[in-house]
Amino acid sequence: MDTTLIRNDFPILHQNVNGKPLVYLDNTATTQKPQVVIDRISDYYETINSNAHRGTHTLGRIATEKLESARTTVQKFINAKEQHEIIFTKGTTEGINLVAQTFAQQFLNEGDSVLISAMEHHANIVPWQQMCKQKKANLLVIPVLETGDLDLSNIDELFSKNVKMLAVTHISNVLGTINPIELLIEKAHAKNIPVLIDAAQSVAHETIDVQKMDCDFLVFSAHKMYAPMGIGVLYGKSEWLNKLPPYQFGGEMISEVRFEESTFNELPYKFETGTPNVDGILAIETAIQYMQKIGLKQIADYEHKLLTYATEKLNEIDDIIFHGTAKNKIAVLSFNLKDVHHSDVGVILDQLGIAVRTGDHCAQPLMRILGISGTVRASFAFYNTKEEIDVFIEGVKTAKKMLQ
Ligand code: PLP
């Protein structure tokens, strides 16, 4: 991989922040966009912009064709069986809300349970928690070990508690842990329990094959895979999507409307209410093609090298406390400096042009389990370099000197 060439594709990386060259290490929060993705969006507005699936004029037809072709690209990218199993959403959060609300409406009853894990993002906790409250169901939690691995010692007992849905993250946005989802899906399916996978953190780092995984639902956000914000994907097996009621009502999702009664459209449109984010959808296609050109395997291998290098270097600093040391993890490093508040480290790094995330990372329950209020989190993408990691390490050393 030629990182110099790759970095040239990302205009945002070539700037000074606070007088220093930007070192962007907040890729878990959102990734930067290559020029081809930016161009795809402007090209759409310069040459195509029209509402898709409406009317017969030429530009409208082109917008529709391009949108549906992008859907096929996404389908192939995650190896879904059918094109209509790809639903465009606003992002991971909306995808989970869609499934939680429609599934609960149809299938969750008093005394049932929904099983999640202790390392979920709030987006995969609160929607289920609220549905459980409404339906007088229980929210059960797979515990987490100090290493950042899931504690599966009591998993069979948990599954025996009238579980109606397992909703679990593929990769933790705090700990970087890659969870053994194939094993969990197998165990859930042995009891006829459907599984939703939160792939927000895996889609840009791991090859996703929904048929091999055999998950029933999978959600992700485009902005975490080099595409824009406000657009994402819900994958669902046809048989499940067909069983769920519509999520929102209005244009596009209907078949026929009378004042007395309406009938609903077929998949995927039943779940795509209103004007779609066509430019965002086209940009996802371009981002996928961009990642595929580099190679998902090459990306994963390179990012893993960065993780190993950064972990070794950070380990050389006294008083570093790592959070998340699972063997199987992606390039996310969460840590604290002994007796130092995480946000103070973040402020000093920012002054040095280094962008990291500090705080609870939308995982307050996990923070409580770890007994901390937050962490400093550095997360790497394929455009990051060893030289940037050296700058980051020097930044942490400076913060330590100033704050301890
Ligand atoms: N799930 C995980 C694991 C995440 O990391 C995030 C965002 O950080 C989300 C869900 C929510 O994603 P979005 O805000 O794009 O909907």
Name every residue whose Cβ is closer than 8 Å to that of residue 240 and which is 6 or more positions away in sequence.
194, 216, 217
Which is the closest atom of ligand 1 to the Cα of 95? 16
CB 335 within 8 A of CB 317: no
Whether 55 has a pLDDT exceeding 80, the answer reads no
Which is the closest atom of ligand 1 to the Cα of 120? 3
Helix residue spans in 48-91 (DSSP H): 58-77
Residue with tokens 């480290």: 345
Query: Counting Cβ atoms within 10 Å, is residue 56 exposed (0-12), middle (13-18) or buried (19+)?
Result: exposed
Q: How confident is the model at residue 56 (pLDDT cuts 50, 70, 90)?
A: confident
Q: What is the mean pLDDT of residues 158-173?
A: 98
Residue 107 Cα to ligand 1 middle (Å): 25
What is the total residue count of the chain? 404
Pocket residue to mutate for ligand 1, from 90, 92, 170, 219, most atoms within 8 A of Cβ: 92
Strands (E), 325-400: 332-337, 354-355, 357-359, 375-379
The 10s digit of each residue's pLDDT in 175-218 is: 999 999 999 999 999 999 999 999 999 999 999 999 999 999 99
Residue with tokens 């069983």: 243
Catalytic residue among 362, 367, 369, 372: 362
Rg (CA), the chain: 22
Which is the closest atom of ligand 1 to the Cα of 29? 8
Given this model, what pLDDT does residue 187 score?
A: 98
Given this model, what pLDDT does residue 104 score?
A: 98
Residue 259 Cα to ligand 1 middle (Å): 39
Pocket residue to mutate for ligand 1, from 221, 233, 330, 357, most atoms within 8 A of Cβ: 221
User: Could you give the CA distance from residue 146 to residue 151 in angstroms, rounded to a whole number?
Assistant: 9
Q: What is the mean pLDDT of residues 77-91?
A: 98
Given this model, what pLDDT does residue 348 score?
A: 98
Which is the closest atom of ligand 1 to the Cα of 221? 15
The 10s digit of each residue's pLDDT in 274-324 is: 999 999 999 999 999 999 999 999 999 999 999 999 999 999 999 999 999
The residues pairing with 236 across neighbouring beta strands, listed in sequence order, are: 217
Residue-averaged pLDDT of the chain: 97
Which is the closest atom of ligand 1 to the Cα of 93? 16
Please count the other Cβ atoms lying within 10 Å of the Cβ belonging to residue 347: 12
Backbone phi, then psi, for 323, in 5-degree steps? -120, 110
Residue 32 Cα to ligand 1 middle (Å): 16
Given this model, what pLDDT does residue 54 score?
A: 81
Task: List, chain by chain if needed, residues with CB within 6 Å of any ligand 1 atom.
Answer: 91-93, 121, 123-124, 169, 173, 198, 200-201, 221
Nearest-CA residue for atom 12 of ligand 1: 92
Given this model, what pLDDT does residue 1 score?
A: 83
Pocket residue to mutate for ligand 1, from 93, 170, 229, 332, most atoms within 8 A of Cβ: 93
User: Could you give the CA distance from residue 157 to residue 163 in angstroms, rounded to a whole number?
Assistant: 11
Q: Is 362 a residue of the active site?
A: yes
Residue 93 Cα to ligand 1 middle (Å): 6
Please count the other Cβ atoms lying within 10 Å of the Cβ belonging to residue 293: 8
CB 59 within 8 A of CB 50: yes
> What percent of the chain clears pLDDT 70, i.e. is strictly above it?
100
